[in-house]
Amino acid sequence: MITKHRTGSLTKRGSNYYVRAMIEGKVITQVLRDENGNAITTKREAEMAKEKFMAPFAVANKVEALQSIVGALSDGKAEMAELEDRRNPPLPVAQAWTEFIGSPNRPDSGPETLYQYECQWSAFAGWIKDKHPDIATLRGVTREIAEEYAATLNGGRFSSNTYNKHLGLLTLVFRVVKHKAKLAENPWADMPRKRLVTHSRREFTVEELRKVCQDATGELRTLLALGLYCGLRLGDCATLRWGEVDLQRAMIRRIPNKTARHNPRPVVVPIHPVLRDMLSEVPAEKRGEYVLPDTAALYAHRTDAVTDLVQNHFRACGITLHKPGTGPASKPGAGSEERKRAVLEVGFHSLRHTFVSLCRESNAPLAVVEAIVGHSNPAMTRHYTHIGELAAVQAVAALPALMGDAKPEPPKPQEPAILREIRAIVESITAETWGERKAAILAMLDLASANGQRAPQARQ
């Protein structure tokens, strides 16, 4: 019996007890003796001696039995997993992007961001297909393979920012489709990112601006004027709607694309006289949805095409776009590993920098400029108070007319001095000072009435 194989059995011959057991297919019979070497003659002592003798063999048998059970469970688990995979296959690499886009767990990213995401994912999927054609599912992407792909991004071809964005996108996709892909872990999650070294765009010189603006025609000319005189980003200029333009009040009211999702606060930008004249050239009956309909359509299809259009114009005007010593012409004929990564210094965003610089050179208060261009960081916005329209108009009107002379505007009536003083007092009223400020306003009105000045009646 199996029990005898594990524990042995007692037999008695004459007055001596023996243990008999089957060990590895062999029958072993052993006389039982006490600690002094004398033969055991009582059954109680014989039972104890038998258990002591068989203990090592019993343990070995248990280990073997447990190993057998574990092996059987592992085989069964593997069979169940294989059966589940056949019934519900893990997510293929080729379907991962579609699954990500359709998942309710992904971030609510805008079309520009999603376009960039798709380009980054396509680069990874193409690399997997080329370098590891045997890997068909996301579950097959190990940490080693992830590190191998990351190394291809790190040969100086991409900036630290671009490198980090690639890894961020891959981490995001794997996290969102984790359950569908049956992932045990995310191979990108703990991969180190690179230290960011920022390179900001420089502003244009006045000579460069004149050349760029004078040589531009059609919608491109208006696009550049919006960037220069409004300080808006490329996407906001390209997709500006007529409903956001008030030519009568000479104001543009626009919620920037960059902050629309987390901070839908509009920026109000005064329209420079030169820009006002350019926009007024479009007859009212021809003003559809977009100020620049062709540019808006191109931007919706391919944002990079609009960027290329602008940069090609800058090049045609003789402007070097990249930082000296970088870019495609840094080492003509050199291999890709020898070329320095292109560092762009001049682009459409340079017009935004130029707008800020010109406003500051015209002595516009910093708070006014910040309010016009808007802040993507709410922590910065809190440092500035509300800016009146008059200050913003004065700041923009002080910009040089680099794209032509504006038609003269009829002079606006000057506000009487007493009204300016009253306005200043009203704007400074708080909950604690309203009584004191009210008394001051009433005193000023009484004085104006006594001197025969015209002033509006105060409201009690």
Assign residue 327 a region (left: φ > 0; alpha: ψ between -120 and 50; beta: otherwise): left
Residues 66 and 97 in one domain: no
Do the domain assignments include residue 408? no
Q: What is the pLDDT of residue 386?
A: 37
Q: What is the pLDDT of residue 87?
A: 62
Last residue in a domain, options 86, 110, 140 = 86
Residues 428 and 347 in one domain: no
- Among 352, 348, 214, 222, smallest CA distance to 279 is for 222
Question: Per residue in 112-168, pLDDT tens?
Answer: 788 889 999 999 999 999 999 999 999 999 999 999 999 888 665 677 888 899 999
pTM of this prediction exceeds 0.75: no
pLDDT (average), residues 446-451: 60
H helix runs in 398-433, sequence order: 417-427
H helix runs in 256-338, sequence order: 273-280, 293-301, 303-316
Question: Per residue in 15-74, pLDDT tens?
Answer: 888 888 877 677 878 888 888 888 888 888 888 888 888 777 666 665 665 665 566 556
Residues 82 and 110 in one domain: no
Domain of residue 239, CATH code: 1.10.443.10
pLDDT (average), residues 228-244: 92
- pLDDT grade for 379, boundaries at 50, 70 and 90: very low
Residues 423 and 369 in one domain: no
- pLDDT grade for 452, boundaries at 50, 70 and 90: low
Last residue in a domain, options 86, 120, 154 = 86
Q: What is the pLDDT of residue 243?
A: 95
Question: Per residue in 65-121, pLDDT tens?
Answer: 566 556 655 655 556 555 555 566 789 999 999 999 999 999 888 777 888 899 999
More confident residue, 232 or 200: 232
pLDDT at 288 over 90: yes
More confident residue, 314 or 333: 314
Question: Per residue in 420-437, pLDDT tens?
Answer: 667 766 766 777 777 777
DSSP 14-66: TTEEEEEEEETTEEEEEE-B-TTSPBP-SHHHHHHHHHHHHHHHHHHHHHHHH
Do the domain assignments include residue 410? no
Do the domain assignments include residue 423? yes
Residues 102 and 77 in one domain: no
Residues 308 and 220 in one domain: yes
CB 381 within 8 A of CB 262: no
Do the domain assignments include residue 432? yes
According to DSSP, the residues that pair with 97 across neighbouring strands are none
Separation of alpha carbons 200 and 313, rounded Å: 20
- pLDDT grade for 376, boundaries at 50, 70 and 90: very low
Do the domain assignments include residue 412? no
Q: What is the pLDDT of residue 421?
A: 66
pLDDT above 70: percentage of residues in the chain? 68
Rounded to the nearest integer, the mean pLDDT of the chain is 77
Residues 82 and 101 in one domain: no
What domain range is 441 assigned to? 417-450
Question: Per residue in 178-191, pLDDT tens?
Answer: 998 889 899 999 89
Cα 399 versus chain centre, distance: 34
Please name the residue that has the structure tokens 């002595």. 363
Q: Provide the domain count of the chain.
A: 4
Residues 284 and 332 in one domain: yes
Do the domain assignments include residue 63? yes
Rg of the chain on CA atoms, in Å: 40
Residues 100 and 70 in one domain: no
Residues 228 and 101 in one domain: no
- pLDDT grade for 214, boundaries at 50, 70 and 90: confident
Q: What is the pLDDT of residue 279?
A: 94
Low-confidence winner among 125-129, 216-220, 447-451 (lowest mean pLDDT): 447-451
Do the domain assignments include residue 329? yes
Burial 244-280 (b: 16+ CB within 10 A, else e): bbeeeebbbebbbbebeeeeeeebbbbbbbbbbbbbe
Q: Encoding tokens for residue 459?
A: 């409201």
Residues 350 and 331 in one domain: yes
Question: What three-state secondary structure class fits 241?
Answer: strand
Residues 222 and 357 in one domain: yes
Do the domain assignments include residue 192? no
Measured CA to CA in angstroms, residue 132 lies from 129, 136, 170 at distances of 6, 9, 17
How much helix, strand and coil, in percent to the nearest 5, is found in the chain?
A: 55, 10, 40
Q: Encoding tokens for residue 105?
A: 């767990």
